[in-house]
Amino acid sequence: MSERRGGERGGRRGVARYIEASVLVLLAERSAHGWELSERLGEIFPLPQSLPDISTLYRALADLEAQGAVRSKLAPGDGGGRKVYELTDVGWDLIAFWEAQFKEEQIGLVRLLERFDAVGRRSRARRRRP
């Protein structure tokens, strides 16, 4: 099999956008601090084998905050408190963008999977021939 970017089959190009979209959806459900988001991320992340680590999640939160999609405030707590993140209007707009993007891709994926299914049936039939 030929080697791909990063040496991984299929590459990891889609992971960053899934992190962003997943974090936005989790924050749409309720405001949260980073560690809580990390614990909840596995519930919805579409690529379980590529679940991001906590440092990647915090980088995504920092990027989203720089974009104005989330804002943080310090909530009182142990050790001086924690940053709690919440969505902004920009974040809600970004959720709408990702929802439309993924729905469009889903239509294309269904078409692709139908073709995989058709090719698989032909392949199995070819292997059964003497």
Q: pLDDT value at position 81?
A: 74
Query: DSSP of 79-111, one letter per residue?
Result: GG-EEEEEE-HHHHHHHHHHHHHHHHHHHHHHH
Q: For residues 11 and 14, give the distance between their C-alpha atoms in angstroms, rounded to a whole number.
A: 8
Question: What confidence tier does 120 reach under pLDDT thresholds 50, 70, 90?
Answer: confident
Instruction: Quick: pLDDT tens for 34-92.
Output: 999 999 999 999 988 889 999 999 999 999 999 999 999 998 877 667 899 999 999 99
